[in-house]
Structure 1
């Protein structure tokens, strides 16, 4: 083999070796990239930081809601509450709940002149009779009234109907039941959800009961059971007040819808009330059942028996005699909250 041929073969072998080495180098693994777990962790940390910031700003945003803001701004705060409430302990949740009460009071506040107030109440009455907007009235409203009336039903805003003593806006009882209750302990959740259902429609107006004795008994039994089931509830005092109030409705009534004139005998008691008391007296392990039974006994007592039981207490009215006999006591005489407008008892 000539030198030139050897040189050519050697050159080819060298070229082949070079190509193999080059190819091998091209197939080397790339530099290690961040692991998927690290990327996910960083993403989660960013989300957590964003959520922390959102929740830190929440109370400030709630305080900024006033009667110049829109329902859109209110709904945005409510969405933020849904995000942040599951992360908070009960005490913080209740603090935010109180803040939400003030937030809605600020949002629904309207300054009116006397003539504007009269026009507004007339409109509310007309709406109760014929749910249409009277343009001649509408133009006389304050700008805030015009806005709120156009946006009824949004952000849990509603106009209380004309059965109320004075027409006014309110936050729907559904609000706390849907925004707060799902994230609270059972005792608080059940209190809010049930009071919301009870207060969708008013129980009374202008010293007149608007619910039947059957419903009064049902609600009284619910609150009695709630007190026994959740003795450590943060709403225990409110539940006891509600139970007492429903007993007052059942055994006494209100000024314009009294249960009896003087409790002289069974004929002096509303028939519907008497029937429900007879049914209630047969329940087992219930304080309401015992008091219903005692009430029925009291109706059969003579004036002499009643005086004897009063043990020397003179000047008692028939109601006071009956109250004494069935041992109906107010658990908190200085209680000042309103438990018949919302899904919590309001100051």
Structure 2
């Protein structure tokens, strides 16, 4: 605060308080007691005389300057946390964020959010950092709820021992199974979202809260979809509604990514998850048909239109499909996407359904965005091996 403004505030406050007090040449003992200087925590509302008010104003100004200094260095403080830091460092940053977030603008808050997520990834390390048999043995024991033995602990490195101690003390670190025998350390996404949500506009708050809910557990497991059909439908419906309700959201492109990914998974499944037979003629479970038909009732909905086309495709004979969606022929016996195709019955229906639905496949082009592990979509290292997320082909 400028010195002139602070002086004017003090002068005005002194004049008001002086006018309200009776004149006295010699203060009584009780009045003398009231003129004692307040403690360093004296607040404006507790000030009872001009001297206490002056002290409170000075204290408030000093605290504000201190907070501004802390906030100006917060990005550097967050970025300094790495795979040798302790949980205390994160707790200190959380306290600083609580002091700085209320006065920050939206751009700064979003930057701190991105930095905070990256901080946790560095702190916990990647599963590729712990690629040894001893680590997998300990992680498997933890996941199964069994007691880790001393011989097991002697085989792992000190950093793993430290993270394991956080897991056992429930210090916002847990173990998550990623599939294919791979384990990793994880943290509480809901706590992260709750830290930032009060200071974000509604569209951004809704986005990160939903991401925290959906991404606390894995979506892919050994090229299979790790959730059942009904939750998958609910996710697709949520993101379609989000796009309608917040078309100008900061996260609108990521919402479209999520909608397309869940929508594609809903109709095509994955390499190890199928909702229908290979020919797309029959559902594997009767409830799948009932749930999909409920989508037809949605108004102004891409999901409803996709469901209508999908159900109509299932009723078509193979001959009708071939007439309406013929497989293209090339000299190299490839389809128009350039993918090798042996023209067997299991692949022809898949290609034809893609033509019928015209839903963009998440796998047709590389997208350097991971939307399934944190509370926002984060950039992946382009050299990092992508998770096994393949189509049924």
Band the TM-score falls in, shorter-chain normalisation: 0.7 to 0.9
> Structure 2 length normalisation: TM-score?
0.73
CA distance in 2, matches of 1:42, 1:56: 21
Q: 1:214 and 2:225 equivalent?
A: no
Q: 1:321 and 2:329 equivalent?
A: no
Q: Who is 2:25 aligned against? A: 28
What are structure 1's unaligned runs of at least 5 residues? Answer: 1-26
Q: Who is 1:240 aligned against? A: 256
- Provide the secondary structure at the position in 2 that maps to 1:79: helix
Q: 2:60 aligns with which of 29, 44, 49?
A: 44
- Provide the secondary structure at the position in 1 that maps to 2:84: coil
What are structure 2's unaligned runs of at least 5 residues? Answer: 1-23, 28-34, 36-48, 330-334, 336-346, 380-393
RMSD of aligned residue pairs (Cα, Å): 2.8
CA distance in 1, matches of 2:111, 2:212: 19
Contact 1:121 1:167 in 2 (8 A): yes
- Provide the secondary structure at the position in 2 that maps to 1:231: coil
Query: Could you list the per-position Cα deviations for residues 130-167 of structure 1 after superposition, in whole angstroms to 9, with x for gaps in the alignment?
Result: 33222220121111111110012655322213646521
Within 5 Å, give how 1:69-88 maps onto structure 2: 69-88=85-104
Contact 1:165 1:205 in 2 (8 A): no
Q: Which has the larger radius of gyration?
A: 1
Within 5 Å, give how 1:296-315 maps onto structure 2: 296-310=311-325, 313=328
Q: 1:180 aligns with which of 186, 196, 211?
A: 196
Change in Cα spacing, 1:77 to 1:155, as seen in structure 2 (3 Å) is farther
Contact 2:178 2:184 in 1 (8 A): no
- Provide the secondary structure at the position in 2 that maps to 1:168: strand
Q: Who is 2:266 aligned against? A: 250
Q: 1:169 and 2:189 equivalent?
A: no
Q: 1:346 and 2:343 equivalent?
A: no
- Provide the secondary structure at the position in 1 that maps to 2:183: coil
Q: Who is 1:11 aligned against? A: none
CA distance in 1, matches of 2:207, 2:280: 38
Q: Who is 1:98 aligned against? A: 114
| Deviation of 1:293 (Å) | 1.3
Contact 1:156 1:174 in 2 (8 A): no
Q: 1:126 aligns with which of 117, 132, 141?
A: 141
> Structure 1 length normalisation: TM-score?
0.82
Q: Who is 1:195 aligned against? A: 211
CA distance in 2, matches of 1:293, 1:334: 29
Deviates more, 1:188-197 or 1:116-125: 116-125
| Deviation of 1:278 (Å) | 1.5
Query: Could you list the per-position Cα deviations for residues 26-85 of structure 1 after superposition, in whole angstroms to 9, with x for gaps in the alignment?
Result: x6257x984654443323212211111111221222122122221112111111112112
Q: Who is 1:15 aligned against? A: none
| Deviation of 1:253 (Å) | 0.8
Number of aligned pairs?
A: 319
Change in Cα spacing, 1:83 to 1:154, as seen in structure 2 (3 Å) is farther
| Deviation of 1:249 (Å) | 1.7
Change in Cα spacing, 1:160 to 1:325, as seen in structure 2 (3 Å) is same
Q: Who is 1:9 aligned against? A: none
CA distance in 1, matches of 2:230, 2:82: 41
Query: Could you list the per-position Cα deviations for residues 72-102 of structure 1 after superposition, in whole angstroms to 9, with x for gaps in the alignment?
Result: 1211111111211221111111111221123
Structure having the larger proportion of residues in helix: 1
Change in Cα spacing, 1:162 to 1:205, as seen in structure 2 (3 Å) is closer
Q: 1:140 and 2:171 equivalent?
A: no
Contact 1:157 1:171 in 2 (8 A): yes
Contact 1:69 1:107 in 2 (8 A): yes
CA distance in 2, matches of 1:112, 1:249: 27
Change in Cα spacing, 1:304 to 1:162, as seen in structure 2 (3 Å) is closer
CA distance in 2, matches of 1:110, 1:342: 14
